[in-house]
């Protein structure tokens, strides 16, 4: 949060240096330059924000930047509970207090625990917490990025899609779904190409996460017949249409744009790579085995 606010304040100084902001002359003369004074003001503002509770930080950002950061953020109650549990573990050894119960209830998370009971963090809770922080952090950063640097929307879209792919590769399917849904549902994208990439990766995350019906619904909302062969082979792979995957592979790299490393690395081909017919088609087209030894060089 400190890094994010610093980037915003330095790139958009009007968000902090308003006409109402004053600095005493006695304070100003302590600095060697205007830049040093500016840096001090930025540091003090950031420090005042990070000292607040996490929900107050969000309220402050919404007011200062004129944004609805919690709108549609379904994970907000879970985030609040996580922050409140952290406070308990830090200050009371995990013993439930009235403040914990009240703060959770105020933000839509009614607790089953009672005052005096002790909370802990087991592996399931830890894993869920990592997902919560990943989701809320990513969404906050990208919301700010898109607002304050609209000229960088292409980079933002590419990063968001790439992050979703990384999560899929790490088998963090639930978090990948939330991040890619967030990306697909943006009001504006740098291009239809990038949006469709997010759609395909979202469908793949849904399939690998066990929700085949939603996967098919996401894909069916779009016409893929007029898209490039690169898109069509990816959609065929998500739909587990391995015969189609082989047919596209045999068209060759120059036609499909799919390189050996693409096929080996992209999460969209995860299930296809397991199929014997696909492995044979790959070897026929590229003249090398799909699963090569580490010592074997790539022909890319």
Cα 163 to Cα 179: distance, rounded to the nearest angstrom: 8
Q: Are 12 and 151 in contact (CB under 8 A)?
A: no
Q: Are 144 and 103 in contact (CB under 8 A)?
A: no
Structure tokens belonging to residue 71: 């709108």
> What proportions of the chain, in percent to the nearest 5, are helix, strand and coil?
65, 0, 35
* Predicted confidence (pLDDT) per residue in 186-230, tens digit: 999 999 999 999 999 999 999 999 999 999 999 999 999 989 999
Q: Say whether 118 sits in a helix, a strand or coil.
A: strand
**β-sheet bridge partners, residue 118:** 95
Q: How would you class 171 by CB atoms within 10 Å of its CB: exposed for 0-12, middle for 13-18, buried for 19 or more? A: exposed
Cα 187 to Cα 218: distance, rounded to the nearest angstrom: 17
| Other residues' Cβ atoms within 10 Å of the Cβ of residue 61 | 20
pLDDT range class, residue 19, cuts 50, 70, 90: very low
**pTM of the predicted model, to two decimals?**
0.85
pLDDT range class, residue 23, cuts 50, 70, 90: low
Average pLDDT, the chain: 90
Q: How does DSSP classify residue 271?
A: T
DSSP string, 176-230: HHHHHHHHHT-S--S-HHHHHHHHHHHHHHHHHTT-HHHHHHHHHTS--TTS-HH
All residues at 6 or more sequence positions from 280 whose CB lies less than 8 Å from its CB, including other chains: none
* pLDDT score of 280: 95
Cα 117 to Cα 131: distance, rounded to the nearest angstrom: 25
Lowest-pLDDT range, 5-9, 18-22, 101-105?
18-22
Q: Are 54 and 83 in contact (CB under 8 A)?
A: yes
pLDDT at 61 over 50: yes
Structure tokens belonging to residue 13: 């100084």
């Amino acid at each position: 949060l400190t890094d994010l606010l610093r980037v915003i304040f330095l790139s958009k100084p009007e968000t902090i240096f308003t006409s109402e902001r004053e600095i005493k002359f006695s304070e100003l003369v302590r600095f060697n330059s205007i830049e040093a004074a500016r840096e001090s003001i930025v540091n003090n503002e950031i420090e005042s924000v990070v000292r607040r509770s996490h929900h107050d930080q969000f309220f402050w950002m919404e007011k200062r930047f004129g944004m609805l950061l919690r709108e549609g953020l379904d994970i907000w109650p879970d985030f609040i509970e996580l922050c409140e549990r952290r406070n308990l573990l830090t200050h009371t050894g995990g013993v439930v207090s009235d403040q914990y119960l009240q703060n959770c209830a105020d933000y839509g998370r009614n607790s089953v625990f009672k005052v005096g009971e002790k909370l802990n963090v087991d592996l399931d809770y830890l894993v869920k917490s990592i997902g919560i922080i990943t989701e809320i952090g990513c969404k906050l950063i990208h919301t700010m990025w898109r607002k304050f640097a609209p000229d960088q929307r292409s980079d933002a879209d590419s990063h968001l899609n790439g992050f979703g792919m990384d999560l899929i590769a790490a088998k963090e399917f639930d978090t990948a779904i939330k991040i890619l849904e967030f990306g697909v549902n943006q009001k504006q994208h740098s291009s239809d190409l990038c949006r469709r990439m997010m759609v395909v990766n979202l469908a793949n995350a849904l399939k690998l996460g066990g929700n085949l019906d939603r996967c098919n619904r996401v894909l069916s909302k779009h016409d893929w017949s007029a898209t490039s062969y690169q898109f069509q082979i990816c959609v065929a792979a998500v739909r587990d249409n391995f015969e189609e995957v082989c047919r596209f592979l045999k068209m060759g790299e120059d036609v499909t744009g799919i390189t050996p490393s693409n096929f080996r690395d992209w999460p969209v081909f995860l299930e296809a790579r397991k199929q014997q017919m696909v492995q044979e088609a790959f070897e026929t087209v590229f003249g090398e085995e799909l699963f090569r030894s580490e010592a074997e060089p790539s022909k890319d």
